[in-house]
Amino acid sequence: MNKRTIAILGATGSIGTQALDIVSRYPDRFHAVCLTAHNSSEKLFELVRKFRPACAALNIEPESIPEDVKFCQWFFGPDSTVEALKASRAQDALCAIVGIAGLDAVLTALDGCERVLLANKEALVTGGDLVTARAREKNVPLLPVDSEHSAIFQCLQARQGNPVKRLWLTCSGGALRTWTKAAMEHATVRDVLKHPTWNMGGKITVDCATMANKGLEVIEAHHLFDMPAEKINVVIHPQSVIHSMIEFDDGAVLAQMGMPDMRGPIGYAMGYPERLPYDAKPLNFYELGHLDFAAPDHDRFPCLNMAIEALKAGNGMPVIFNGANEQAVGAFLREHIPFGRIPEVIDHALQAVAPMKINTIADVYALDRAAREDAENTLRRLSC
Ligand code: NDP
Ligand code: MG
């Protein structure tokens, strides 16, 4: 069998390393020809030794490159990811960079690859219609990796031309699901990073605790599946066993289920349409006993509605939401602000930054900069 070549952008992260776990289980099937990271040089050197890519990239140039990884072509600096991706001529790109920092890479992947496997939800939230238009224009499938969107994508295959009435996105509720509003105010970084069901990178784990993540996912679902915000419901489901659902006009609901393990949706996108077995823990319904569901509590988790309202308002409001959120989460992780201030930073930017019609990627970056500036001003006020 001819090996499929794949670029893993954000190879040192939670999604990147789990994708490489799938690659190592299928050495006859995949060759990871391009591996990139921001500054985790030692980790990337290890991966290069193991997976022997043709190209590798680091945004921050390390002091030296070990002799035994010099066989591959190295790229450094702010454009290194896209340069390495282009040079590798990978058939598929798994976009697993965190934040809007991955937007250029997603667009480059859509220009040059046969398929784009998308984990980097912020690229779709900010790039929005421009990203989906590029995918259509280039006729490149955008395969979802986010577990909820992978679930919906899988359920949609049973649709047979019928209209979808509603999407149901499930949500674990994050590390603070059962906390009171008063206790949440001062949740520490340690408290927040203890996610109950998923083991993920720092930024998304904080986003789960504020439910900004589910807001980003509603916007992501809107773009991937062309559904208006009004037809996307969020339901709290603490066990994270139902990954998401679609509802039809006759009341039938299809769900995709499995134990929470990101290698499921990552492997599904990599092997699509074939399923790639790995050492998945089987779902044991006898042990599960019951599944729980609840409506989201918008009073304790205001970020969810802020994102949904931003989507409804359009005019770049999701870009403002995302930029302010990225700044606020960074400040919380550096312990500059208490957890309870994150929604305030976002809300201020949504009120203060002038929305604008997005026509180009340059517009996206301009609005992102304005949102971050506003967030930085709020953060300075809050840390005095
Ligand atoms: P991590 O923080 O674990 O990894 C991020 C990766 O991106 C690392 O390889 C990092 O390199 C690289 N990176 C960070 N900043 C930059 C930058 N400015 N330029 C280039 N590369 C950069 O994140 P996750 O793997 O958790 O998440 C990745 C994406 O997937 C996010 O958009 C997230 O929302 C989404 N996602 C993640 C899930 C999960 O289970 N983790 C589930 C669903 C979606 P370095 O190590 O050098 O910093
Ligand atoms: Mg998700």
Contact between 129 and 314 (Cβ < 8 Å) = no
In the reported structure, the alpha carbon of residue 230 is separated from the centroid of ligand 1 by a whole-number distance in angstroms of: 29
In the reported structure, the alpha carbon of residue 338 is separated from the centroid of ligand 2 by a whole-number distance in angstroms of: 24
Query: Where, residue-wise, is CATH 3.40.50.720 in the chain?
Result: 4-144
Counting every residue written for the chain, the total comes to: 384
Q: Which ligand is closest in space to the CA of residue 244?
A: 2
Backbone conformation region of residue 109, classed left if phi is above 0, alpha if psi is from -120 to 50, else beta? alpha
Of ligand 1's listed atoms, the one at least distance from the Cα of 105 is: 20
Residue nearest to atom 12 of ligand 1 (CA): 10
Query: Where, residue-wise, is CATH 1.10.1740.10 in the chain?
Result: 149-261+283-383
Of ligand 1's listed atoms, the one at least distance from the Cα of 205 is: 26
Residue nearest to atom 32 of ligand 1 (CA): 120
In the reported structure, the alpha carbon of residue 161 is separated from the centroid of ligand 1 by a whole-number distance in angstroms of: 35
Q: Which of 146, 195, 200, 244 to mutate to test the pocket of ligand 1 (most atoms within 8 A of CB)?
A: 200
Of ligand 1's listed atoms, the one at least distance from the Cα of 200 is: 41
Architecture in CATH for domain 4-144? 3-Layer(aba) Sandwich (3.40)
Q: Which of 95, 97, 143, 263 to mutate to test the pocket of ligand 1 (most atoms within 8 A of CB)?
A: 97
User: In 10 A of CB 8, how many CB atoms?
Assistant: 30
Q: Which ligand is closest in space to the CA of residue 148?
A: 2
d(CA 195, CA 120): 19
DSSP string, 289-349: -----B---TTT-HHHHHHHHHHHH-TTHHHHHHHHHHHHHHHHHTTSS-GGGHHHHHHHH
d(CA 312, CA 318): 9
Residue nearest to atom 18 of ligand 1 (CA): 101
What pLDDT does residue 295 have?
98
Residue nearest to atom 16 of ligand 1 (CA): 38
Tokens of 178: 């059962």
Of ligand 1's listed atoms, the one at least distance from the Cα of 101 is: 18
In the reported structure, the alpha carbon of residue 104 is separated from the centroid of ligand 1 by a whole-number distance in angstroms of: 14
Measured from CB, residues less than 6 Å from any atom of ligand 1 are: 10-16, 37-40, 59, 81, 96-98, 101, 119-122, 146, 198, 200-204, 262
Residue with tokens 């040089």: 41
d(CA 85, CA 72): 13
Q: How many helices (DSSP H) and strands (DSSP E) are in the chain?
A: 16, 11
What pLDDT does residue 199 have?
80
Q: Which residues contact 5 (CB under 8 A, 6 or more apart)?
A: 30, 31, 33, 88, 89, 90, 91, 92
| 3-class secondary-structure state, position 117 | strand
In the reported structure, the alpha carbon of residue 30 is separated from the centroid of ligand 1 by a whole-number distance in angstroms of: 21
Q: Which amino acid is at 363?
A: D
Q: Which of 8, 9, 12, 15 to mutate to test the pocket of ligand 1 (most atoms within 8 A of CB)?
A: 15
Of ligand 1's listed atoms, the one at least distance from the Cα of 38 is: 47
CA distance to 21, 80, 317, 329, per residue, from 40 (Å):
18, 14, 32, 20
Residue nearest to atom 48 of ligand 1 (CA): 38
d(CA 108, CA 79): 11
d(CA 151, CA 157): 10
What pLDDT does residue 262 have?
97
The pLDDT profile of the chain, 384 residues, written as one tens digit per residue, is: 689 999 999 999 999 999 999 999 999 999 999 999 999 999 999 999 999 999 999 999 999 999 999 999 999 999 999 999 999 999 999 999 999 999 999 999 999 999 999 999 999 999 999 999 999 999 999 999 999 999 999 999 999 999 999 999 999 999 999 999 999 999 999 999 987 787 899 999 999 999 999 999 999 999 999 999 999 999 999 999 999 999 999 999 999 999 999 999 999 999 999 999 999 999 999 999 999 999 999 999 999 999 999 999 999 999 999 999 999 999 999 999 999 999 999 999 999 999 999 999 999 999 999 999 999 999 999 876
For Cα atoms 94, 331, 104, give the angle at the middle one, nearest 5 degrees: 30
> Which CATH code for domain 149-261+283-383?
1.10.1740.10
In the reported structure, the alpha carbon of residue 67 is separated from the centroid of ligand 1 by a whole-number distance in angstroms of: 27
